[in-house]
């Protein structure tokens, strides 16, 4: 007696080792990655790690002429842009890993009939379907 899904399971098992090595490499790349954000004036530059932590700031000497409120806005804008860029990089790397994962990325991300996601998946606003 043959099982219809057995070939698929065997293929997934064969690919699992290479996928795990690739995942480890992407995780290292992710840990080492950072992103920069700059204020509108270009006087403040902020660097954020992949987790959004601010790791460095750079202030142009001309920024010292700004009042404290404007300078605070410059820092906030630069930090927000750095964190958004870091988050985009994380999404990019995760997308690459999931696209190469055994079984592909479509394993449960498509909505079920009726437009609702499959059980255990996320709704468009990231709430679990049991919410």
CA distance 79 to 38: 8
Domain definitions of the chain by residue range: 29-98
CA trace torsion 8, 11, 13, 14 (10° rounding):
180
Q: What is the pLDDT of residue 129?
A: 52
For residue range 56-67, list pLDDT tens digits in order: 999 999 999 999
Strands 54-59 and 44-49: antiparallel
Percent of the chain with pLDDT over 90: 42
CATH class of 29-98: alpha beta
């Amino acid at each position: 007696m043959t099982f219809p899904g057995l070939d698929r399971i065997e293929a997934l098992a064969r690919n699992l080792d290479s996928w795990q090595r690739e995942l480890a490499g992407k995780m290292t790349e992710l840990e080492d990655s950072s992103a920069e954000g700059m204020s509108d004036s270009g006087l403040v530059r902020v660097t954020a790690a992949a987790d959004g932590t601010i790791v460095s700031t750079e202030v142009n000497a001309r920024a010292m002429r700004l009042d404290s409120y404007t300078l605070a806005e410059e820092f906030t804008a630069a930090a927000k842009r750095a964190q958004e860029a870091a988050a985009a990089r994380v999404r990019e790397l995760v997308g690459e890993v999931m696209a190469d994962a055994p079984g592909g990325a479509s394993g449960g991300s498509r909505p079920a009939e009726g437009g609702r996601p499959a059980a255990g998946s996320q709704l468009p606003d990231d709430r679990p379907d049991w919410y």
